[in-house]
Structure 1
Amino acid sequence: MTSCTDSNCLFCRIISGDEPSTTVYEDDKVLAFRDKFPAAPVHILIIPREHIATLNDTEPKHAELLGHIMLTASRLAKELDLADDGYRVVMNCNRQGGQTVYHIHLHLLGERPMRWPPG
């Protein structure tokens, strides 16, 4: 697995320990931590340890990793007592998709009603 070595990438710096975060889960494939600017009472970011800039940069070889990210979200939702009431998972891609850090990441949001369309 490619490690995070991009010193310009905020999430690579979090993985290396050079940038602080509040970790809620980690294993050999992913790191999950609380978002510094939460959009909901519970807002966890789940990031792969491998640097992949956008969802567009994923390949078939990343299928297991992408599945692991989703399963981690489900696991955390259960552990954080979000599962029964419901939660949202979001992955943004590129500028118009709302991506601000170019290292793929899944947002796990909960403990408030989510509406669609937003607003």
Structure 2
Amino acid sequence: MARYSGNDFYCDVAIPRREPLDVVFEDRDVLAFHHTRPFWPVHIVVVPKIHVGSLLTLDDPVLVSRLLEVIQSVAADVVARHDGASVLTNLGDYQDSKHLHVHIRAGQPLRQVS
């Protein structure tokens, strides 16, 4: 697939599977998969399957709970396999795709930030 140039990769590409994904977890509400252009050796993204603009607009307590359960589970697996992990999300201009997504990562960056 050509490099995506829209503003919501998750709604436009990942959730409807317009590109193959290496899925780690999926249920009715949440999708977790290996990043399609990883920045770290282990780079998993967790997203709600409905559009949520960012952490700042997430206001459904049931979805918050489910999302955190999945993040905890995936992060625990990464820690068990790699002895550590970071969990992060971006907001505002730092958020390339305007859909809440949480990165679970381990290892040193694969390339320099430009």
TM bin (shorter chain): 0.7 to 0.9
Identical-pair percentage: 30
1:2-50: CA deviation from partner (whole Å, max 9, x where unpaired): xxxxx96320131112233221110111001111222221110000011
Q: Are the equivalent residues in 2 in contact too, given 1:10–1:19 (CA < 8 A)?
A: no
Give the CA RMSD over aligned residues.
Answer: 2.3
* Number of aligned residues: 102
User: In structure 1, what is the equivalent of residue 50 of structure 2?
Assistant: 50
User: In structure 2, what is the equivalent of residue 4 of structure 1?
Assistant: none
Greater relative contact order structure (CA < 8 Å, 6+ sep): 2
Which AA in structure 2 matches 1:35?
H
| Residue segments in structure 1 that go unaligned for 5+ positions in a row | 1-6, 115-119
Name the CA distance, whole Å, in 1 between partners of 2:7 and 2:96: 13
| Residue segments in structure 2 that go unaligned for 5+ positions in a row | 1-5, 110-114
Alignment TM-score, normalising by the size of structure 1: 0.73
Name the CA distance, whole Å, in 1 between partners of 2:90 and 2:51: 15
Alignment TM-score, normalising by the size of structure 2: 0.75
Which AA in structure 1 matches 2:10?
F
User: In structure 2, what is the equivalent of residue 104 of structure 1?
Assistant: 100
User: In structure 2, what is the equivalent of residue 11 of structure 1?
Assistant: 10
1:45-104: CA deviation from partner (whole Å, max 9, x where unpaired): 000011011222222xx2231232222122123334x24822111011110xx2100010
Name the CA distance, whole Å, in 2 between partners of 1:9 and 1:19: 14
User: In structure 1, what is the equivalent of residue 41 of structure 2?
Assistant: 41
Q: Are the equivalent residues in 2 in contact too, given 1:69–1:106 (CA < 8 A)?
A: no
